[in-house]
Chains A and B, each alone.
Chain A
Amino acid sequence: MRVTKKQALRLICALVFLVLCFTAAKISATLAAGLDSQKAAERWAAGGEEDYAQISVFLSRDSGFTEESISGISDTVDAALVTASLKAEEDTRLWYSAYSTQIGEMELTGNRRNAASAVVTAVSGDFFTMHPMRLADGSYLKADDLMQDRVVLDTKLAWQLFGSSEVSGMEVIVNDTPCLVAGVVQPETDGASQVAYGDKPRAYIPYALYDQLQTAGEGESQWISCYEAVLPDPVRNFAKTTIENAISAGDGVHIVQNTERYSLSHRWDTLRHLHDLMIIPDSTAYPYWENAARIREFDTAVLLGLELLLLIFPVIYGLRLLWKGYRFLERFMAEKRKAHQRRFRTI
């Protein structure tokens, strides 16, 4: 059977579209995999048999969510895990949580004369377990640190204050309060995180230091803008429902399940409601990692749309080929039957 130029062109187009579709899918997967802040559940599961899910809760100041609310949430989650017969092994934790508050800009001074203005975020002890930024020097802040007067700088801020990244143990003045540098972190290098991170340098301080800088005797607990948790997800939506029950979703509370954010079904939903990504509910302010994740949500949803478009021609062509092949087979079988009949007649 001779193949015409037109047919060859159609075949090549279909193959090219297929390859482009797979390439788009691969790019989408690569973009999603580039966000370490969304893969905390995978890291916690460490390839084990249990399923874990990462849940993020973003809160506005009006939601009234403060440090004092944390122990109540932990108790509710522990009770839910016990009810579901989930128990931690000895010397291990079944789940963990981290919370943070983006305070705003503060003046920091190192051993260089000029002060630098940095965006300061107050973080809880497990924040860096949830967001393991690359350490250029020193170590992360930990919950069981004896002294809660240490800060973590990013490499840009360390350069501005000291002229080097290897500055752990050196003194830095934060809002006229002397502190020590615990470590220096490298911000995430993927495109979305770099866009969301912005140009301003960042510093991370423990909540005890935030209390000292902010209230100075008022005795009030600080509000929390972002609460994240990694907990077991033995059945679909168990983790999200547990957190929703613990936090009592209402005005000013926005809950996200990070783990299935880039699944096919979620990408399809996002594509259908793309405008929702543009809307930030209430007065919630998203931290930069959530903004990076939303950028990638947009990207992967758009890529899904592109994949679907690219699949149209190969699918139609494939169906047409199938139909042609079916007709060819039909004709072939008919000729075979005729030839067989002719032979009998001759005999």
Chain B
Amino acid sequence: MEEQNKNAKRREHIKTFLIIFLALLLVLTFFSNTILNYSLPTVSAQYASYGTITERVRGSGIVMANQKYEVVAEGNRTVTSVSVKVGDEIKAGDPLFVLDASQNDEAVKEAEAAIEAAELEYQKALLTAVPDYAKENQEIAAAREDLQIAIHRLNAAKNTTGKISDAAYKQATDDAQKAAEHITELTGYLTLAGSGETDGIPAAYTGGLQAAKAAHDAALDALEQAKADLEAKKAALTVTSAEQQATIQELERAAETAETAYARAKADYEANTQDITLQRAMEDAEQTARYAREDADAAAAALTGIQAQETAIAQAQTAVNDAETAERNANKALNDAISGVTAAIQRDMDAANAQADAAAAVLNAYNQQGSSGEAMDITALEDAVTQQERTVQTLLITLAETQKADELTQQIGDLDLQTKQADIEKQKAELEELKKNSGTVTVKSKNAGVVSTVNAVTGDEVTDGMVLAEITLTDAGYTVQFSVTAEQARKVSIGSLADITNGYYSDLTAKLVSAKANTEEPGSSGKILTFDITGSDVTVGEMLSLSINCSSNSYDCVVPSSSIMEDNDGKFVLVVRSRSTPLGNRYYVSRANITVLASDETNSAVQGDVTYSDFVVTASEEPLTPGKQVRMED
């Protein structure tokens, strides 16, 4: 009984366990999709699309005025009151400071003493001596008289010199005769050389001529021999190879014809061996064919010999041509040698002619002078004249220099006097001014603008030239500058307009006017961008943030920068793909390798395995691997 109860209980437990198990199975099956979805990582994605990539360069700077001017104190004074403060807008003529002249009296006394001293110097400078040149003129006159005396002595000496002696005359006569004889001899040589008879010409002139002649004779002999050889070979050739080939062709045709006839005759005989006529015809045809073949073969054999003869003729012709060339060269060398001989003789002829001419000139001069004379030495007298001329010149030049120097000194003195006078006038005017300003004075603004700095307060002691305030001129425009890297500077272009990003300014425009090297940081490769600011709604000292567009290009495939990932295989994006299953659409990610073409702060233009309209993952809950199933963010 107990055993039965135990078994019943066991069966109950098993039944209960099975029911629970089946219920659990059913629930899990129905909600498997939901459970699966919740276990998948959530991703957010965007479509890759056609778009533009625009890079921007940003920066901030303080607005500065393009021009400003400084208000300067005149004289040593005390500030009684200050009428403006930093930031005030003022017009031309507005009062800025009131200054008191408590320290002016000493300045007046100093100025008066300075004027007196200057006038004394001026009076002293007026007393100058007039230059006198009587002594120099006297020296020049004396030097000229000495020169005249020296010239007179020289002329007197020259009248007894310059004649040709008898000994010189005799020498010239001998020279003329010798020259005439030599000329006659050389004329004979020239005639022989012109006719080609060089035997009578001395060996001094005909040096290389014999060798040239021998070479020319040898070349002529060689040429004649080559020609003879060629003629002999030409005569030996009776038939040309072309003619022989024509003959061979005819004989070949005849042989073939005879052989064909023989073949036919043979065939006829074989068809009817009893016919004697056919047999005889065959035998005749065979003999004819054999003779014809032998003739053709002989002709063919002869062709080889004819071709060899023609080759030898061609070679002999080449030899003749070479011999002709050698003969021409030898002839030219011989003509050159003869020309050389003639030229040498002509040179000696010219020298002899010159010698004869010189002798004839001496003889002529002797005949004209009528008598002989003794040559006298006049060099010393000529030297004396030259020396005296130089002395006179030197004295004249010295006088001219002295006069010029004195004139220059006079002019400098006049200028100094003028300067001293002007200085005195200026000091007098300043004294008048000092005397006039000895009372309280109001400093007024010369231009309209905005007060940017005030350097003095009431009660300050200011010195002459001290800057009391700085006024920025509102009419000259404003600038903003900020520094950028070299890379950023390369991207912007001069003349572009920039947007003002820190606030709303209705009529302000900012235009990039320059990009210069950053000199404030030596060694830096950065640049300073300067913008011209125009408009009415601007204040000096205000901070403006500017943003300027760089290049802007359109691309077919632009994705958010946050979707680009990288590993050792390069850059890639994860593209969401879907596949349909019996339980609905399943999403999974796949890898698409890309290269980045351009990027700005939010997007990047890419190319590669991703195309326009692909759904790329921009963020996910956990790291993803290609092929992993994901769930889309709602």
Contact = CB atoms under 8 A, between A and B. Distances in A.
Given A46-B568, A93-B566, A135-B562, A147 B595 contact: no
B569 A146 contact: no
A183 B601 CA distance: 10
Nearest to A140: B562
B180 interface: no
Contacts of B595: 91
* Interface of chain A, main secondary structure: loop
A33 B568 CA distance: 21
A92 B561 contact: no
Nearest to B563: A139
Contact of B568 (A45, A140, A168, A183): A45
Contacts of B562: 135, 138-140, 183
B527 to A, nearest CB: 14
B567 A89 contact: no
Interface string B376-407: 00000000000000000000000000000000
A274 B634 CA distance: 46
Interface stretch (A2-10, A15-23, A36-44): A36-44
Interface residues of B, number: 35
A138 B590 CA distance: 22
B19 to A, nearest CB: 26
Contacts of A96: 566
A48 to B, nearest CB: 7
A134 B620 contact: yes
Contacts of B600: 146
Contact of A139 (B485, B561, B620, B621): B561
B447 interface: no
Contacts of B545: 178
A146 B487 contact: yes
Interface string B575-614: 0000000000000000000010001111000000000000
B569 to A, nearest CB: 6
A275 B502 CA distance: 55
Contacts, number: 85
Contact of A44 (B488, B502, B561, B567): B567
Given A46-B568, A147-B488, A135 B521 contact: no
Interface in A77-92: 88-89, 91-92
B601 A182 contact: yes
Interface in B609-629: 618-623, 625
B502 A178 contact: yes
A50 B568 contact: yes
B602 A139 contact: yes
B594 to A, nearest CB: 10
A80 B305 CA distance: 84
Interface stretch (B52-60, B81-89, B457-465): B52-60
Given A138-B602, A147-B488, A183-B562, A46 B567 contact: yes
A94 B567 CA distance: 9
B602 A93 contact: no
Contacts of A254: none
A171 B547 CA distance: 13
A48 B570 CA distance: 13
A145 B601 contact: yes
B560 interface: yes
A276 interface: no
Interface in B336-376: none
A144 B601 contact: no
A180 interface: yes
B567 A45 contact: yes
B602 A168 contact: yes
B601 A92 contact: no
A250 interface: no
Interface in B536-587: 545, 550, 560-562, 565-570
B491 interface: yes
Contact of A135 (B502, B570, B618, B623): B618
Contacts of A305: none
Contact of B569 (A92, A139, A149, A180): A92
B625 A47 contact: yes
Given A134-B620, A219-B521, 15 more contacts: A36-B622, A36-B623, A43-B623, A46-B568, A46-B569, A47-B625, A52-B568, A89-B570, A135-B618, A146-B550, A146-B601, A147-B58, A147-B488, A169-B601, A178-B60
17 contacts: A39-B623, A45-B567, A46-B567, A89-B569, A89-B570, A93-B568, A96-B566, A134-B619, A134-B621, A139-B560, A140-B561, A142-B599, A146-B56, A146-B600, A147-B56, A149-B58, A178-B60
Q: Which 3 A-B pairs have the closest CB atoms?
A: A139-B562, A139-B561, A92-B570
